[in-house]
Amino acid sequence: MSVQALVTKKRKEFIGLPAPLGYAAGIGRGAVAFTTRSDIGPAREANDVSDERHVAPSKRRKDQEEEEEDLNESNYDEFTGYGGSLCSKDPYEKDDQEADAIYASIDDRMDERRREYREKRFREEIERYRRERPKIQQQFMDLKRDLASVSETEWNAIPEVGDARNRRQRNPRYEKFTPMPDSILARGLSDGQVRMLSDWKHSSCL
């Protein structure tokens, strides 16, 4: 048997043939096929039309978005509703004007009723505060009324403001008693004296 016959016998039938469609080498042992950019070429041709989904928004589109009302849940209040008006873009007609006038009159009437209540409550609080904390003028009001019955003699007998303060200066005390120091007492005892006398002018030992 020649060598050529052996090579021809061992040669597989699929060698040199193109791979079938969807074939991935090693897929039987868990390999995963992948495709690179070099396999499929550029993603877009030079003469392709640009995708309008990724173009920058125009100024007119921005203005339209700014004019739209914010109807998000974060801008909603349970009492007042949405922060903006749902009919801001609708035309303002005569019926709308009449409705606004009616609502304005109702608001004025309600405010007038509330204003009367506020003023009444304010007056009551002021009166209660004045009863609890009267002014000094009000505290001495009864004494002022009693001054009308004071005679001229009693009025002249009222002391001046500085009388009580200057009373001690007007009536000085000439006699002053001062405790005698222990040194004088000791000296008198040492000299054999029995009694000592001291006044405000001089001191002498007897």
**Domain residue limits, the chain:** 92-149
Q: State the pLDDT at residue 83.
A: 60
Give the Cα separation of 105 and 97 in Å (integer).
Answer: 12
Q: What is the DSSP string of 121-188?
A: HHHHHHHHHHHHS--HHHHTHHHHHHGGG--HHHHHTSPPTTHHHHHHHHS-------PPPHHHHHHH
CB 196 within 8 A of CB 206: yes
Could you give the percent of the chain with pLDDT greater than 90?
5
Compute the average pLDDT of residues 113-128.
88
- 22 φψ region: left (φ > 0), alpha (ψ -120 to 50), beta (else): left
Cα-flanking dihedrals φ and ψ of residue 141, to 5°? -65, -40
Instruction: Name the 3-class secondary structure at 203.
Output: strand
Question: Does pLDDT of 59 surpass 60?
Answer: no
- What secondary structure letter does DSSP report for 20? P
User: What is the average pLDDT score of the chain?
Assistant: 71
Q: State the pLDDT at residue 93.
A: 83
Entry pTM: 0.24
Q: State the pLDDT at residue 51.
A: 53
Which runs of E-coded beta strand occur in 10-144? 76-77, 81-82
Give the Cα separation of 165 and 160 in Å (integer).
Answer: 10
Q: State the pLDDT at residue 102.
A: 93
Residue 82: closest CA among 65, 70, 98: 70
Compute the average pLDDT of residues 150-175.
71
Compute the average pLDDT of residues 150-156.
86
